[in-house]
């Protein structure tokens, strides 16, 4: 213990004489806090937490440090600063560091929840895109179906019903919590999906079967165009999400294309 105290005294002697003597417990506490914060920030989901902390440091801590530093400098010019004042400053700094830890943890938790939501939406959009694509196959089947409808004016294609997406329906209110770019891309896809579902409901009604053949062909052509637009928006949404989280593209087998 005496050797430790001697080494500590030698280390303190290396500091400028005007610097106050900082007790060992203060250094140990500061290092412990820094290690604790560093360990939290090294978690995989810390990207969003780092952004929150950086914003908080720039908008709160940095202005406070600058103001406090200017005040202490001005006070030091007028009169020597007592050691007790330095201890108060160190205590305030440690209290701020301990306050920062739960803030970082809260931000990390919110970011992890956002990543989970993006993975779920990615899976839902990817499954829908895999079941409805690829675009060239969809276009070819649509062309073949239109030829059949034109050759047989009384033919009414069977249009599969489309259900509401369960994940998005349950979590739509949380979309604003996601990063702006993937949130916008996801919203654009589901807006197109909602239009497509309403259009499909019209095509599955009795009124569609009672239309003249040419009108049915035009509606079916519009239906294929809307499906292709949904596929394009799905690809954009998937790409936007994949820039923020690692998520595999789902694969879905299609049983048939009786009516697309």
Peptide bond into 134 cis (omega under 30): yes
The per-residue pLDDT for 162 is 86
Q: Which comes out higher in pLDDT, residue 133 or 4? A: 133
Q: What is the mean pLDDT of the chain?
A: 76
Closest CA to 44 of 117, 123, 112, 105: 112
The per-residue pLDDT for 91 is 66
Mean pLDDT of 155-182: 88
The per-residue pLDDT for 22 is 59
pLDDT band per the 50, 70, 90 thresholds, residue 40: low
pLDDT band per the 50, 70, 90 thresholds, residue 10: low
Model pTM above 0.95: no
The per-residue pLDDT for 87 is 62
pLDDT band per the 50, 70, 90 thresholds, residue 80: low
CB 219 within 8 A of CB 211: yes
CA triple 218-223-226, angle to 5 deg = 125
Q: How many CA atoms lie within 13 A of 203 on its CB side?
A: 25
pLDDT band per the 50, 70, 90 thresholds, residue 13: low
Record the tokens describing residue 214, joined without a space.
């040419």
Closest CA to 33 of 91, 83, 84: 91
Q: Which residue do the tokens 């060239």 mark?
A: 136
Record the tokens describing residue 143, joined without a space.
């062309």
% pLDDT > 70, the chain:
55
pLDDT by residue (tens digit) across 89-132? Answer: 666 666 666 666 666 667 667 777 888 899 999 999 998 888 87
Domain segments of the chain as ranges? 22-112, 115-242
């Amino acid at each position: 213990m005496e050797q430790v105290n001697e080494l500590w005294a030698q280390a303190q002697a290396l500091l400028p004489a005007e610097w106050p003597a900082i007790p060992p417990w203060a250094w140990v506490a500061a290092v412990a806090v820094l290690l604790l914060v560093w360990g939290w920030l090294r978690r995989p989901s810390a990207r969003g937490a780092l952004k929150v902390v950086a914003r908080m440091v720039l908008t709160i801590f940095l202005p406070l440090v600058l103001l406090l530093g200017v005040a202490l400098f001005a006070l030091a010019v007028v009169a020597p600063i007592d050691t007790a004042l330095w201890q108060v400053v160190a205590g305030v700094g440690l209290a701020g560091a301990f306050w920062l830890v739960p803030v970082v943890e809260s931000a990390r938790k919110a970011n992890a929840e956002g990543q989970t939501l993006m993975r779920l939406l990615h899976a839902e959009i990817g499954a829908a895109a895999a079941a409805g694509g690829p675009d060239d196959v969809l276009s070819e089947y649509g062309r073949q179906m239109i030829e059949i409808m034109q050759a047989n004016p009384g033919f009414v294609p069977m249009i599969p019903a489309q259900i509401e997406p369960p994940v998005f329906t349950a979590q739509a209110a949380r979309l604003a919590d996601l990063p702006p770019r993937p949130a916008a891309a996801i919203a654009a896809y589901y807006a197109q999906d909602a239009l497509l579902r309403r259009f499909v409901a019209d095509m599955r009604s009795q009124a569609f079967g009672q239309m003249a053949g040419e009108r049915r062909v035009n509606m079916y052509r519009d239906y294929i165009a809307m499906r292709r637009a949904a596929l394009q928006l799905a690809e954009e949404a998937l790409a936007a999400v994949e820039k923020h989280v690692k998520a595999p593209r789902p694969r879905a087998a299609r049983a048939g294309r009786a009516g697309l």
